[in-house]
Chains A and B, each alone.
Chain A
Amino acid sequence: PILRGQLHSKPSNGNVTFIPQIRKLAFEFCQAWPTSAPLREVLGLHAETLARENPHVEIVVKKRMYRVPIVRGFYLNDRTKVIGLKKLTRNDVMDKIQLLLDSSGAKIKSLKAQPVQSTTPSTRGIWSGMHVEEPFKI
């Protein structure tokens, strides 16, 4: 028997509308040490633009005194991605921020492991030896 309280649907993000998977970006840096200088410059120049162009992201700054700077991305699948910004130039820091904004938060999987998996049926159908003009006869 089908229990109506147990019925559910599967998500299809991107089908009609897309919900970006990143919800928060936390910049943790030191106010004194020079390793945090590129990040401080980036935030000073581009923080407002970043927030305006990505309204779905909460942007947070946090003190991380006398340590190297990091940026932490929080995702909707409850995972976190942390990127250290030590020895990165201003442009590299901006690239890392963009990497976090574009990510889905899923664990990085090897592309060499298995072939493509799909939730939709094949467009041309799977070949059947019974549905050809001349079926194979022993």
Chain B
Amino acid sequence: MRRFHPNSFPLRSLPSTKRISALPNAPFPPTQLIERMTPAQTPQLPQFSPEEWGSIQDPSPSALHALAARISFLSTHSPAAKAELLTHALTHPSSLSVYVKYYPRAPLPTSNKALAAVGNSLLGLFAAEWVHASYPHLPTRAIKAAVSAYVGPRTLADVAKEWGALPLLDGLVVQCIGLLPRSVIALLARHSSLADARNFTHTHFLSRIVDLEHLLNFRAPKVVLVETAAKFGMERPISRLIAETGRYSNVPIFIVGIYSGSEKLGEGFGNSLRMAEYRAAEDSLNRLYLTRQPSHLVRLPTSAFPSSFSYPHGLGSFSSLTRPPAPGEEYVAQELGEAEVLFASSDRSGKQAPAADPSASLGASVVGVGDGIQHAS
């Protein structure tokens, strides 16, 4: 049985705690002395800051490997390859000027700026196609806002912190922490496959919680509802009082439902009849625009690429694109939802959208800003 004598334990092989000087051949005065010396007395000494010097050193291998395991980064690659790629992903552009100051003759390392640009585009692509396919009727502006919510700069910074990457990216460059997740996506697309990068995006970004209802805001929901119902060829919406209480008290409650024929589109509550009707119209529009495609029926356009396709690609990958797809890999497009009805959406020009087409099935050519819904007594 092996006895654990203190001297037999391999702690002696720990590195010494003596600080390594940037100028090993020159005597290094302590910081307190440098502060007291005038600039004329320190002509040869460089501006040495231990924190700055520490920030440009490579991250510790154990921390790198722990990060790679935490996010399951390229699990099939060798640990050395993973460490090298992650170091590249963690090299931010603002550290290069510091690097030149301390190692003027060494070759400059490549920053993650280019990787982050590619990764940003890929993230936007995957998020946009997923949001559009999962919420087929969501208005265009809401889709763009949703993409910002899912893969925008604030989320990317939060995700980098949740991965535990802050100790690896020193505290000096907090604004650059969003470059890491983008670089990781680009590395996955290049060294694994586009499909792998997409799955990673779905796992780490598109599984996060975003409330899409806050992104929808209608200036005149009742009129929009009338026009939308006409577009779908449904009967003109009518509001009906479902329940009420305390009409003559100081806190009345009215529950109003909006019906198209016998089909109930939405319901709203309020302290006045008009308030309840407004909320019911908003509810009806939300129920339409926020309909979600079940995830097993979602067909994403990037799944048309073969599963081994990587980006940026070498010349050999083109042949996989021109080959006909295997029997199980054929891509069938999903049905697109109807585009939203534009009403009072002025865009940047400040001009409102033109009035509804008089030849529409609705018949009534006057679409006013007031109450568009008839109240059924």
A complexed with B:
yes
Binds A, one of B111-119, B156-164, B368-376: B156-164
Known contacts A11-B158, A44-B4; is A56 also within 8 Å of B11 by CB? no
Is residue B274 within 8 Å, beta carbon to beta carbon, of the partner chain? no
Report yes or no: A7 in contact with B63, Cβ–Cβ below 8 A.
no
Report yes or no: A56 in contact with B70, Cβ–Cβ below 8 A.
yes
Residue-wise interface mask of B (101-122) relative to A, using a CB-CB cutoff of 8 A (1 in contact, 0 not): 0000000000000000000000
Name 18 A/B residue pairs within 8 A (Cβ), A-sorted: A5-B153, A5-B154, A7-B155, A8-B158, A13-B162, A15-B207, A16-B203, A17-B203, A19-B70, A23-B70, A40-B4, A40-B9, A44-B9, A55-B69, A76-B162, A76-B164, A130-B242, A135-B245
Task: From A4, A24, A32, A131, name the one whose CB has the most chain B CB atoms within 10 angstroms.
Answer: A4
Closest 3 pairs (CB-CB, A-B): A55-B69, A9-B208, A8-B154
Binds A, one of B19-27, B38-46, B144-152, B347-355: B144-152
Is residue A97 within 8 Å, beta carbon to beta carbon, of the partner chain? no
Known contacts A5-B153, A9-B150, A9-B209; is A55 also within 8 Å of B65 by CB? yes
Report yes or no: A131 in contact with B243, Cβ–Cβ below 8 A.
yes
Report yes or no: A16 in contact with B155, Cβ–Cβ below 8 A.
no
User: For B167, what are the chain A residues with a Cβ–Cβ distance below 8 Å?
Assistant: 23
Is residue B71 within 8 Å, beta carbon to beta carbon, of the partner chain? yes
User: For B70, what are the chain A residues with a Cβ–Cβ distance below 8 Å?
Assistant: 19-20, 23, 56
Is residue B230 within 8 Å, beta carbon to beta carbon, of the partner chain? no
User: For B209, what are the chain A residues with a Cβ–Cβ distance below 8 Å?
Assistant: 9-12, 119
User: For B145, what are the chain A residues with a Cβ–Cβ distance below 8 Å?
Assistant: 2, 4, 7
Report yes or no: B6 in contact with A31, Cβ–Cβ below 8 A.
yes
Least Cβ–Cβ distance between B313 and chain A, in angstroms: 27
Least Cβ–Cβ distance between A105 and chain B, in angstroms: 11
Is residue B56 within 8 Å, beta carbon to beta carbon, of the partner chain? no
Report yes or no: A7 in contact with B6, Cβ–Cβ below 8 A.
no
Kindly identify which residue among B4, B148, B204, B207 contacts A7, using a CB–CB cutoff of 8 Å: B148
Kindly identify which residue among A6, A16, A40 contacts B207, using a CB–CB cutoff of 8 Å: A16
Is residue A106 within 8 Å, beta carbon to beta carbon, of the partner chain? no
Kindly identify which residue among B11, B164, B215 contacts A61, using a CB–CB cutoff of 8 Å: B11
Residue-wise interface mask of A (95-122) relative to B, using a CB-CB cutoff of 8 A (1 in contact, 0 not): 0000000000000000000000001000
Is residue A46 within 8 Å, beta carbon to beta carbon, of the partner chain? no
Known contacts A4-B152, A19-B162, A24-B66; is A63 also within 8 Å of B203 by CB? no
**Cβ < 8 Å to B, chain A residues 25-70:** 31-32, 37, 40-41, 44, 55-61, 63
**Cβ < 8 Å to A, chain B residues 207-226:** 207-210, 214-215, 217
User: For A55, what are the chain B residues with a Cβ–Cβ distance below 8 Å?
Assistant: 65-66, 69
Please measure, in the bound complex, the distance between the C-alpha atom of A43 and the C-alpha atom of B167, giving whole angstroms.
25
Please measure, in the bound complex, the distance between the C-alpha atom of A61 and the C-alpha atom of B66, giving whole angstroms.
16
Known contacts A40-B4, A57-B66; is A8 also within 8 Å of B207 by CB? no
Report yes or no: B207 in contact with A60, Cβ–Cβ below 8 A.
no
Least Cβ–Cβ distance between A99 and chain B, in angstroms: 19
User: For B60, what are the chain A residues with a Cβ–Cβ distance below 8 Å?
Assistant: 58
Sample of 16 further A-B pairs with CB below 8 A, known A4-B152, A9-B210, A16-B203: A2-B145, A4-B145, A5-B153, A6-B154, A7-B155, A10-B210, A12-B207, A16-B207, A17-B72, A19-B70, A19-B162, A19-B163, A24-B63, A58-B63, A76-B164, A130-B243
Is residue B265 within 8 Å, beta carbon to beta carbon, of the partner chain? no
Report yes or no: A4 in contact with B148, Cβ–Cβ below 8 A.
yes
Is residue B319 within 8 Å, beta carbon to beta carbon, of the partner chain? no
User: For A41, what are the chain B residues with a Cβ–Cβ distance below 8 Å?
Assistant: 4
Report yes or no: B162 in contact with A130, Cβ–Cβ below 8 A.
no
Q: Which residue of B lies closest to A37 (CB)?
A: B4
Please measure, in the bound complex, the distance between the C-alpha atom of A99 and the C-alpha atom of B65, giving whole angstroms.
22
Report yes or no: A2 in contact with B4, Cβ–Cβ below 8 A.
no
User: For A119, what are the chain B residues with a Cβ–Cβ distance below 8 Å?
Assistant: 209
Please measure, in the bound complex, the distance between the C-alpha atom of A107 and the C-alpha atom of B345, giving whole angstroms.
48
Is residue B188 within 8 Å, beta carbon to beta carbon, of the partner chain? no
Q: Which residue of B lies closest to A10 (CB)?
A: B209
Please measure, in the bound complex, the distance between the C-alpha atom of A6 and the C-alpha atom of B209, giving whole angstroms.
15
User: For A37, what are the chain B residues with a Cβ–Cβ distance below 8 Å?
Assistant: 4
Least Cβ–Cβ distance between A73 and chain B, in angstroms: 13
